[in-house]
Amino acid sequence: MAVSISRQIAFDVLRRVEAEDAYASDLLHAEFDAGENRALKPADAALATELVMGVVRWRRLLDFLLSRDLKKTVERLDLPVAIALRMSAYQLRFLAKIPARAAVNESVELVKRARKSSAASLVNAVLRKIAADAKTPAEKFLPAGFGTVERLAILRSHPTWMVERWLARLGEPDTIALLEANNRPARLTCAIHAPDARAAIIRALESAGMRVEDGTLLKSAFAVSGGSPARSEPFRSGQISIQDEASQAISLLLGVQAGDRVLDLCAAPGGKTAALARAAGPQGKVIAADLHAHRVRAMEAQFKRLGLRNISLVELNATRAMELPGEFDRILVDAPCSGTGTLARHPEIRWRLRPENLADSQRLQSQILANAFTKLAPGGRLVYSTCSIEPEENEAVVKDALHNSSGIRAIPSTEAAGLLAPLLAPGVKAPDLFSSDGFFRTSPAVHRTDGFFAALLEKS
């Protein structure tokens, strides 16, 4: 029996996500750009993406449903068998337009192609039971007496420890809203680098079959669906980049002026650096640093596409004393973090992260921030940001840094909000983006963006 190209791609990508700890979105992008797949029909690419991202998001619920008819947990099965079962279970429960027969038979065939023919009868039998129960609400299968934490964790497909800590901090309604937002496909948003050409850019994207709608946070941003803007002429010519709206807002908080010396300490993939370089202008000087050589090389290609020439690239370990000449008017520390604000975009993070990782991140972030202060000029400003929603990585790092560093103060939220106000989309009020403690925050549930945190600090 033939297997559709979309299911074969999804199967291969899901195996690599598990085996290589890679990001699903990166692997899909690479697959679609591979020579044999460049002519892939949009519908096939869309189905492959839906299968991969859906299976990764809903893995816990799928495994719970599958395990009812298995003698051992799905995670203890051979990986190709587990992937085939999850793919078919996802289609049967979430994709009503796909015939059950196709979902079951092609997963059986995928197992055979993976040289696991001995498991084919098991896969077939389990999936036929899943198909029979596909319209029964999953909650009906939960054991009696399940508490709120475990019930939400299974039905909304998140780790128990993650749900438990969010319930304690956010309460049940906001936690449910966050879990639901994490399980929706992330918006594909673009930063526009040629504002005067906005209408022409949108026409070019629409003529390529894409749908374009306004951003929810920034005037300049827009969202794209129905295709890949990375394959469009506006992208190739450097008029747009793919970047989440909250991520775009971080660069704006620094208030870079023409001629400024700017340091972006954890710069890759370079989207924020590009915005800083444009604001600094040809007389400004921007240094983009990153720990990994391959990420520095990737940024070099990115800045070449964008036509930016006022950026110097440096391979640098920011946890150590930095041998960079002079001091900087503006510094961005977009610190490496858990990424819990990006679980809609990178759902695999939820299965890899452990509670102890937060303390490890906090130590790393504190070292980087303390080192950054040593390179900040008097009167200079620094933004500390993460794409995490965890206090250990955010306000705890900033408060500790303010306590241990003399001459550093937090800029009041009223002033920081003033930097953003003229740039926000209609109906968005700048003060609403700052919490009661004065820090910038976005929420996947509220703003339809990634969850970002930022603090604006100044050196006296």
Q: What is the pLDDT of residues 342-401, one digit of tens each?
A: 999 999 999 999 999 999 999 999 999 999 999 999 999 999 999 999 999 999 999 999
User: Residues 150-155: what's their mean pLDDT?
Assistant: 98
Amino acid found at 238: G
Same domain, 270 and 176: no
- Do 157 and 16 fall within a single domain? no
Cβ–Cβ under 8 Å, residues 264 and 328: no
Mark whether 263 and 358 lie in a shared domain. Answer: yes
Reported as type and span, the H/E element at residue 372 is helix 355-374
Give the structural domain span for 107. 5-141
Instruction: Tell me the average pLDDT across 410-437.
Output: 95
27 part of a folded domain: yes
DSSP state of 407: T
Domain endpoint, select from 154, 183, 212: 183
CB distance 149 to 163 below 8 Å: yes
Which residue, among 189, 248, 245, has the nearest Cα to 217 in the 3D structure?
245
Q: Is the pLDDT of residue 250 over 90?
A: yes
Mark whether 30 and 106 lie in a shared domain: yes
In a domain, 248, yes or no: no
Lowest mean pLDDT segment, chosen from 41-45, 274-278, 326-330: 41-45
Model pLDDT for residues 72-111, shown as the tens digit of each residue? 899 999 999 999 999 999 999 999 999 999 999 999 999 9
- In this predicted structure, the answer to whether residue 22 has a pLDDT above a threshold of 80 is yes
Could you tell me if residue 308 is inside a domain?
yes
Residue 117 resides in a domain: yes
Provide the residue type at 230 as one letter: A
**What per-residue confidence (pLDDT) applies to 42?**
85
Q: State the pLDDT at residue 35.
A: 61
278 and 386 in a single domain? The answer is: yes
Question: Does the annotation mark 190 as catalytic?
Answer: no
- For position 441, what pLDDT does the model report? 97
Instruction: Say yes or no to pLDDT of 186 above 70.
Output: yes
Percentage of the chain with pLDDT > 70? 99
436 in the same domain as 344: yes
Q: What is the CATH number of the domain that holds 234?
A: 3.30.70.1170
Same domain? For 289 and 394 the reply is: yes
Q: pLDDT tens-digit profile of 209-242? A: 999 999 999 999 999 999 889 989 999 999 999 9
The answer to whether the CB of 409 falls within 8 A of the CB of 399 is no
CATH number of the domain that residue 37 is part of: 1.10.940.10
In 3D space, the residue among 267, 265, 266, 204 whose CA is nearest the CA of residue 240 turns out to be 204
pLDDT recorded at residue 200: 95
Q: Are residues 238 and 301 in the same domain?
A: no
Token output for 144: 């009696």
**So what's the pLDDT on residue 39?**
74
* pLDDT reported for residue 145: 85
Q: Round to whole Å and give the CA distance between 109 and 232.
A: 36
- 128 and 169 fall within a common domain: no
Domain count, the chain: 4
Q: How far apart are alpha carbons 6 and 185 in whole angstroms?
A: 18
In-domain check, residue 443: yes
Question: Residues 118, 154: one domain?
Answer: no
Task: Please state, rounded to an integer, the average pLDDT across all residues of the chain.
Answer: 95
> Are residue 294 and residue 353 in the same domain, yes or no?
yes
Q: Which of 190, 266, 337, 387 is catalytic?
A: 387
Does the pLDDT of residue 36 top 90, yes or no? no
Q: Is residue 247 part of a domain?
A: no
pLDDT band at 2 (very low <50, low <70, confident <90, very high): confident
Residue 77 domain-assigned (yes or no):
yes
Residue 376: give its domain's CATH number: 3.40.50.150
| Helix, strand, coil % in the chain, rounded to nearest 5 | 55, 15, 30
Residues 338 and 220 in one domain: no
- Is the per-residue pLDDT at 1 higher than 80? no
